[in-house]
Amino acid sequence: MPDPSDVKVREVAPGFHLLYLPLPMKPTIVNVYLVNGGSEWALIDTGMHTEDSVRAFHAALGTIGCRPEWIRKIICTHHHPDHFGTSKPYRELCQAEVFLHPLEAARVSFYVPQERSPQTTRFFLRNGIPLDIFAKVPSPGHFWKSMYEPAVPDHTLSDHMRVPIGEREVEAVWTPGHTPGHCVMYFRREKVLIVGDHLLPKITPHVGIMSDDAGDPLGDFIASLRKVGELDVETVLPAHGAVYHDHRKRVAQLIEFHDYRMQVMLDVVRGRPRTAYEVALEAFDLTRDSPFQQQFPATFETLAHLEHMRLQGRTEKLEQDDRVVWRPRSTH
């Protein structure tokens, strides 16, 4: 872990400061952004609630010359711990107002310590994840409990909602997919887009199905990519990875990537009907001995792709021995 005093701060556009905050896992850094609006500042995302991250945040404020009380608004792209995990302490520190989409606020409890529900266990088993793999895995709430201090939002974000930041204005653009209420932050006048996890420069965000009522997150994600591609943007500020500029090129790359991933999974189920877990092992080149941190998200992502293809008429699912299995949809 790097010494927090060495964490760099960079002005990536006039008045937009990128803060590199440490994470205790890969990726090891999350980018959050301080925006100077003249008469007030705003913090976009908060980092995780760890001692290293909080120290790095305070060091960054000192480097920039921004007093905590100047930060009047904390606007978060989504509810995950590395984006919303310090929202409560920072609201108290800055006496700021917190903004979050209501679909994200409703999911904060996912990271509150609680036992895994029978419905979750049934969902895992029906989709082929072996009991011996997940029985010893802590629930998300138990895993994240010391690193997640979420605020109850003061304001809910909605699509195209405009929020003043001093003499600037940011527009929240709803981009579901990675999470149901994920929003990117669009500074129309400055042509700056803070994208959270939606449009990362090197990797695709996790887009998965983790319950029976999750809908079509991959379809939502692809539609959100196209929506963001229509914005007039010159500078893209991601949560992970380097600042970049050609957002339409990245949109096209991500759509092509998921088209390819769907084709791979369709090829896997041609031989015989398979559970999402079985498809995931083959499509992601994993084994039962691979780390659960790889097996779980691979299975959830596989489900999102298989379900999206089902809605397109390319796959179908059926019950087989108390499990859900997938096969190509017959054209006859």
Pairing of strands 71-75, 41-44: parallel
pLDDT at 113 (0 to 100): 65
Q: Specify the pTM.
A: 0.94
Provide the residue type at 42 as one letter: A
**Averaged over 250-269, what is the pLDDT?**
97
pLDDT digits (tens, 9 = 90+) for 197-231: 999 999 999 999 999 999 999 999 999 999 999 99
Q: How far apart are CA 259 and CA 253, in angstroms?
A: 10
Sequence letter at residue 203: I
Q: Which pLDDT score is estimated for 56?
A: 96
Question: Which runs of consecutive H residues, i.e. helices, occur in the chain?
Answer: 51-64, 81-84, 87-94, 102-105, 118-126, 131-134, 140-144, 217-229, 247-268, 276-283, 292-311
* pLDDT greater at residue 147 or residue 282: 282
Q: Which of 207-211, 244-248, 291-295 has the lowest mean pLDDT?
A: 291-295
109/71 Cα distance (integer angstroms) = 26
Q: Bridge partners of 21?
A: 30
Q: How much is the average pLDDT of 232-238? A: 98
Give the model's pLDDT for residue 136.
Answer: 67
Question: Looking at the predicted structure, is the pLDDT value of residue 4 above 70?
Answer: no
Res. 110 pLDDT band, cuts 50 70 90: confident
Three-state DSSP class for 314? coil
The pLDDT confidence band at residue 114, using thresholds 50, 70 and 90, is: low
